[in-house]
Amino acid sequence: MVLVVGKPLNGLRMRFLLEAEEVIREGYGVVLVNTDEAGTLLVTNYRLLFVSEKTRDIIALGTMPLAVIEKFNKLAVKQTSGLRHADKPPVRRLLQVFGKDLRIIVFGFRARTKQRRAVYEALLSCTKPARLWDLYAFICGPSKYNGNNPKARLLDEYFRLLGISSYLQPSIHMIEEGSFTLSNIWWRISSINSNYTLSATYPFALIFPKSITDEEVLQASTFRARCRLPVISWCHPGTGAVLARSSQPLVGLMMNMRSNADEKLVAALCTQFASGKEGRRKLYIADARPRKNALANGAMGGGSESAANYFQSEIVFFGIDNIHAMRESLSRLREYLDTYGTTSSDGMSSYLRHGGSSWGGGNLSSMSTSVSTLGDSGWLIHVQNVLAGAAWIAARVAKESASVLVHCSDGWDRTTQLVSLTSLLLDPYYRTIKGFQALVEKDWLAFGHPFSDRIGLPTLSGSGNTPVELSRQSTTGSFHSPSIRQQSGSFTQPSGSSHTHSSNSYSPIFLQWVDCVSQLLRMYPSAFEFSSTFLVEFLDCVLSCRFGNFLCNSERERQQFGVSDACGCLWSYLAELHSSDGQSHVHFNLFYDPMKHDGPLLPPAAALAPTLWPQFHLRWACPKEVEAGDIEAKCRSMDSKLSDLQKAKDAAERKTWEVTAAMESLASELRNEKQLSSSALHLAKNASKENAAIKRAIQSLGCKIHFSGSGDTTIDVEHCGTESPHKSFYSLSKQQSVRKLPSDEKSDLSISIGLMHNDDLPTDSFTRICESLCPLHSPDGRCRWPEAGCAQIGSQFVGLKANFDAFDRLSIDDGYF
């Protein structure tokens, strides 16, 4: 049942809730002290949600997933500034929240209300549920972010490493049948741990040297802590060098315990050189711990190897501190960022914190102290140690073709950091988004990094019906917080209660590894397909536990809970985010050039000088500075503008092409018209010549001819004798013209011929004229002119018929007359 304190939730705020997200408590008139902004504070089954009263939007700084909350305190702070001694100082009721993402936020509640108490109790019940399936990831379900079987994805990566992925794809049927036990000339995939009986924290499939049998594997497992025996994590496809991982050997206090099976397995990692070079490759055993810590573990049965017992080996200690040192280091870094950020959780600017004379806008003593405080946190030193260790291992594998076995105590924290970071340096595939997913799933998830313990979530042992008791400690009158600080005339010591739901196993190991990846991305900006924004989004999703990929402590536990079927998949969510925009999405690196870095990355020691990761470390403490200094964001903005200009250019070019095509079409039509016009003009000239010839021929017969431009062609013959003049008419229609012209070039021709008859002329005058002038008149009195008639005045026949078809066939010209 959902209990709501105060006014009912309106529809405007409901639009902020995710699928299956429900409001448990809410408080009105709450002030976010960091920014002095008023709004509504909601506690849901997934997050702490702060909505601005002014803008009605979510305030990112005041919104935090419940799984990200490390601890929270209920404080009562007395304000003494500007008050007379007789006045009773008012008390501010505050709620202070510490986040695993380096945030410290403080909420102020109205006096004489129970809102702070209601919100505090809601956080107590929601931040660490007694059962794993009470988490939001299980309540929400897979929704639309379904993913395929993680076992199939692991086998797919194994097939790639062994060079058999090109012709074989893993399937659920293959996993159920156990038919994935394939091999190449050096290595083989074993199903000996398919039921997790060999090691509960190892994956179901393991890669071993081909020369080692499963019986020898069983014998060797008893000599390593938690049965985490040496297995292959990555192998070089060309040289045969491998990167292997394990836990510490159980050599005992005197370091005199040995195992023949373990020594044989480790020696099998040093295969013959693929190039035919004589001898066997060298083996380095990289112990991630400080030497003194390794020796101290001998008192509890652990310890480190002796180089004399392992063939052609060398032992190297990297001196990386344990999980407790990392936890304290991150806590000090968080205090530093909150103290010296633009605004702190007490609402005060770092420039005004210590007062006194200022230099450069801030107190000189404060500036110097901030530098030493950052160094005292030790975080950057720890990051540098991990980077240096991974770079050293990568150089041994790449330059010497040596094999390296990496371990720490249990083989799932520092070992995982070194092995996965070394793989990222050696293999360009892991520097793509798809390869990065495969790397994380193989070395972090499959090989049993205890995410539930390190993030502070319920584990398999705490998921039964017995609720996990929440530890509380009273801090009344003695609470020392980095966020509520002493300042003259401002605050007095707070009093209240504190709650920490993180166990002693909590440690930011995975966060530190992602920080190391960001440092490599800074050093080699063109070597990675993904951007810094992708890493921040990815890390936020892991810490929030919104998806099921990083729940539980091992592959076995996730299978027992059916996490992959019951919860959403983080990789599907990230893929959907950048699927719409493709390579232009902010998750993709603008500077990525796979051809430039197609081999291993081997950073020199001098380059391994880490800095604060602005997009993650400074995003809450110095948001404006991060935004102003984000070169990638500026380049992306310029790239977006360039893309828009390119689209406009393409549109203009298409329009130009269309106009050019239209002009060419019109020009073609114009050329056709000119050709037709020229042809018509030529025909008209020919017709004019023929008309002139006909006219001269008729006039030579003593006739009068008249051409007019009216309808049909008409021939008028006037015959004058003793009697009254006689007129004969002959009409020729347009269809009987000399030749047909195009429809738009036809012209009407009217020919009027007048014959004046004189009685003085003999009756056969026309016949004599025809005989004397016409070259077609035959000697026998016949006319070779087709269809021509004789001039018979009496019978009113036209002596010379204007037969234009005949003229055309005979091609009459001036030469005839």
Name the residues annotated as catalytic.
408
Q: Are 586 and 538 in contact (CB under 8 A)?
A: no
Cα separation, 712 vs 210, in Å, equals 108
Look up residue 214 and give its two tokens: 């499963």
At position 595, the amino acid (one-letter code) is M
| 444 closest CA partner among 135, 203, 241, 235 | 203
Query: CA 590 to CA 152: how far, in whole Å?
Result: 31
CA dist., res. 340 & res. 349, Å (int) = 8
User: Contact 236/426 with Cβ under 8 angstroms?
Assistant: yes
Q: Is 36 left (phi over 0), alpha (psi -120 to 50) or beta?
A: left
316-333-105 Cα angle (round to 5): 145
**Cβ–Cβ < 8 Å for 444, 510:** yes
- Long-range pairs, 666-675, Cβ under 8 A, ≥24: none
**DSSP letter assigned to residue 134:** G
Query: How buried is residue 780: exposed, middle or buried, by Cβ count under 10 Å (0-12/13-18/19+)?
Result: exposed
Six token digits for residue 793: 């005045």
Q: What are the distances in angstroms from CA 529 to CA 148, 571, 585, 588?
A: 23, 16, 11, 6
Max alpha carbon distance in the chain (Å)?
165
Distance, CA of 263 to CA of 419 (rounded, Å): 21
Q: Which residue has the tokens 């991982």?
A: 245
- At position 18, the amino acid (one-letter code) is L
**Among all chains, which residue has been given the structure tokens 């893309």?**
643
For residue 163, give both structure tokens.
């060079």
690 contacts 807 by C-beta, under 8 angstroms: yes
Strand partners, 31: 38, 108
